[in-house]
């Protein structure tokens, strides 16, 4: 997918909502546990109920790996289901990988080629040669961690690093890497006041924004400071949508929560 | 496993060698490709041939994930094989994970509990709450990236961060985290001259040292600057050992390469 196609979907759906598929068997409706693949059944129902309200789905790989081979199988089925039935949806493997060059190339193959996600989240700590193998994949996107939504973001990311904060150093340095046009960035909604500064460095890039909902970030603030003339935001909610109900109505309730967010987004876009 | 047990194995085997199991189907002996699970067959043969020369095995998860479910299955079989047959061996899931707290807890479950590795490598970028869920696991170790072996290490890790280089900030800050006694660190062999400074901050911790062999680091230099009175080093070699031959003699040749390293180590431990 290209960013032009993504923008066109945002305009069409009046939504820049990403839904996080972080499926914990302890939190899904108990009646699904009888299914052969409860994680996939849960995801399928969520996707069926919300796909016209969201422009992206973001499965977090941790929640699949926690169930071993069964979990990996659920991940394969989930991404295949989206790609087959909703090819217009932007897919994000929230994997936060990053390793030396030949190893990052293996992760890029796994997520962007074999599983065929449109994008993957990557940690910047190991620098250029750990990220460029992901960037080399055409029409695929590497979503680099810049300023994350958690409290630990203040441990290192906001520390002054050579005259500017580390996350700014990450933003600026990453722009010099090969195929940097394939970069997007993670900036947490809980850090909305930082968006103005961030937009000075990366005015045109898409930013994936976790932390609205369960983590407490404000959609209005994120949009006020972070939106650009092509929207440039994918605002993610995971737990606030997918765990709206633990009953048989879970998909319907998830749709209601997604609709609330989509309506707020339509209002902002309007 | 405890560090006391690990140290006792090092003394017994006169070795602090870790062997990286980074299995690429394009690089293993062609005759193995007929096997039902070539990756596991390769690993099993390498382990059988080298287990009395090495104190640790380090499968890199990227090389398994690159083969999807089959790869994950090979990883499960490999770690189970080591745990069943060589419980004295220290096992490292080289996964370089790290995410917000509830997600890191899922990764900790996957690698330290379900797969039952002794340790897992973790990236520090997201700070305290992304690492502490790993540290909470008793008698398990979190190997935090500090100064990596690749060239990209100079992009951010060595940048001045509030009066000291970022990797030093990572070392110092991590010591304040809960259960920090369960920390080990990654420092690349290609950065041997940094070990003196690093040992001032973490005199007692074990350091996992990749980058000897294919990446060009020197064992002598690493030991000169990095060894402490309990050895405190796990020096890893991957490609230099496991791909010593592409013939039917691959395990024997891998053993020869491992033996060379073990003999150098025995001499140093002397």
Provide the mean pLDDT of chain B. Answer: 96
Inter-chain residue contact B130 with A150, CB threshold 8 Å: yes
Let me know if B26 is exposed, middle or buried by CB neighbors in 10 A (0-12, 13-18, 19+): exposed
pLDDT-derived band at A193 (thresholds 50, 70, 90) equals confident
Q: What is the mean pLDDT of residues A155-183?
A: 94
The minimal CB distance from B69 to the residues A73, A125, A162 is found for: A73
| Pick from A40-49, B216-225, B228-237, B245-254: least confident | B216-225
Q: Mind telling me how many Å the CA of B133 is from chain A's nearest CA?
A: 13
More confident site: B111 or B160: B111
Using a CB-CB cut-off of 8 Å, the residues of chain B touching A215 are: 100
Give yes or no: A96 in active site: yes
| Closest listed residue to residue A97, CA positions, set A139, A72, A131 | A131
Residue A161: per-residue pLDDT: 77
**CB-CB under 8 Å, B104 with A62:** yes
Model confidence band, residue B193 (pLDDT cutoffs 50, 70, 90):
confident
- pLDDT at res. B162: 75
Residues of A in contact with B153 (CB under 8 A): 126-127
Query: Measured between CA atoms, how close is A21 to chain B, in angstroms?
Result: 12
Q: How many domains does chain B have?
A: 1
Number of H helices, E strands in chain A: 12, 10
Instruction: Please indicate whether, in this complex, the C-beta atoms of A72 and B76 are within 8 angstroms of each other.
Output: no
Sequence-ordered alpha helix ranges (H) in B57-138: 61-65, 68-85, 101-108, 128-135
The domain of A117 spans 3-269
For residue B77, the chain A residue with the least C-alpha distance is: A69
A94 vs B contacts (CB less than 8 Å): 99
Q: What is the pLDDT of residues B117-145, one digit of tens each?
A: 999 999 999 999 999 999 999 999 999 99
Among A143, A73, A145, A81, smallest CA distance to A108 is for A143
What is the pLDDT, as a whole number, of residue B163?
82
Residue B213 has pLDDT above 80, yes or no: no
Dist CA B240 CA B261 (whole Å): 10
Residue A119 contacts residue A93 (beta carbons within 8 Å): yes
Q: Cβ–Cβ of A66/B106 closer than 8 Å?
A: yes
Q: Which residue of chain B is at minimal alpha-carbon distance from A168?
A: B156
Question: Which tens digits make up the pLDDT trace of B45-89?
Answer: 999 999 999 999 999 999 999 999 999 999 999 999 999 999 999
Tally the residues of chain B. 270
How far is residue B39 from each of residues B59, B112, B167, measured CA to CA in Å?
11, 22, 35
Nearest chain B residue to A125 by CA: give it.
B125
The size of the A-B interface in CB pairs under 8 A is 180
A105-131 residue pLDDT tens: 999 999 999 999 999 999 999 999 999
- What average pLDDT does chain A have? 96
From B59, which residue of chain A is nearest by alpha-carbon distance? A103
Average pLDDT over residues A255-260: 98
Residue closest to A251 by CA, chosen among A68, A14, A89, A42: A42
Residue among B109, B123, B161 minimizing CB distance to A123: B123
Tokens describing residue A8: 């066109």
- Indicate yes or no: CB of B125 within 8 angstroms of CB of A130: no
Q: What is the model's pLDDT at position B191? A: 85
CA distance A265 to chain B (A): 25
Judged by average pLDDT, the poorest of A71-80, A144-153, A190-199 is A190-199
Q: Which residues of B are catalytic?
A: 96
Choose the catalytic residue: A96, A128, A246, A260.
A96
- Residue B172's CB is within 10 A of a number of other CB atoms, namely 12
- Our CA-based measurement puts residue A69 at a distance from the nearest CA of chain B, in whole angstroms, of 6
What is the pLDDT confidence band of residue A215, given thresholds at 50, 70 and 90?
confident
Alpha helices in B175-249 (DSSP H): 195-201, 219-226, 239-242
| Closest chain B residue by Cα to residue A172 | B155
Question: Which residue carries 């309990």 as its tokens?
Answer: B230
Among B207, B214, B201, CA closest to B184? B207
Nearest to A114 among B68, B148, B154 (CB): B68
Diameter over CA atoms, chain B: 56
- Secondary structure in 3-state letters for B2-31: CHHHHHHHHHHHCCCEEEEECCCCCCCCHH
Bridge partners of A141, per DSSP, are A119
A139 — pLDDT class (breaks 50, 70, 90): very high
Determine the pLDDT at residue A238. 94
Report the DSSP pairing between strands B164-165 and B160-161. antiparallel
Report the half-sphere exposure of A142 (CA within 13 A, side-chain side).
32
pLDDT > 80? residue B214: no
C-beta of residue A92 within 8 angstroms of C-beta of residue B118:
no
What CATH number corresponds to the domain at position A124? 3.20.20.70
Q: Residue A91 and residue A106: Cα distance in Å, rounded?
A: 19
pLDDT of residue B256: 98
| Contact flag B103-A151 (C-beta cutoff 8 Å) | no
């Amino acid at each position: 997918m290209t960013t032009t196609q993504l923008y066109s979907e945002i305009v069409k759906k009046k939504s820049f909502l990403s839904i996080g598929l972080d499926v914990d068997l302890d939190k899904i409706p108990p009646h699904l546990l009888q299914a052969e693949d409860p994680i996939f059944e849960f995801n399928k129902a969520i996707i069926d109920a919300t796909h016209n309200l969201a422009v992206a789905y973001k499965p977090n790989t941790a929640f699949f790996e926690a169930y071993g081979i069964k979990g990996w199988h659920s991940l394969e089925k989930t991404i295949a289901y989206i790609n087959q039935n909703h090819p217009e949806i932007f897919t994000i493997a929230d994997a936060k990988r990053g390793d030396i060059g030949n190893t990052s190339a293996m992760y890029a193959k796994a997520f962007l080629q074999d599983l065929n996600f449109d994008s993957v989240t990557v940690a910047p700590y190991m620098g250029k040669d750990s990220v460029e193998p992901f960037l080399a994949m055409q029409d695929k996107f590497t979503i680099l961690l810049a300023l994350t939504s958690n409290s630990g973001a203040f441990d290192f990311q906001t520390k002054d690093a050579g005259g500017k904060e580390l996350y700014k150093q990450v933003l600026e340095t990453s722009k010099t890497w090969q195929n940097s046009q394939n970069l997007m960035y993670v900036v947490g909604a809980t850090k909305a006041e930082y968006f103005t500064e961030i937009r000075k460095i990366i005015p045109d890039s898409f930013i994936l924004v976790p932390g609205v909902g369960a983590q407490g970030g404000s959609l209005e603030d994120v949009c006020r400071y972070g939106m650009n003339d092509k929207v440039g935001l994918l605002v993610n909610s995971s737990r606030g949508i997918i765990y709206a109900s633990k009953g048989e109505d879970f998909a319907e309730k998830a749709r209601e929560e997604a609709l609330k967010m989509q309506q707020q987004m339509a209002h902002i876009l309007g």
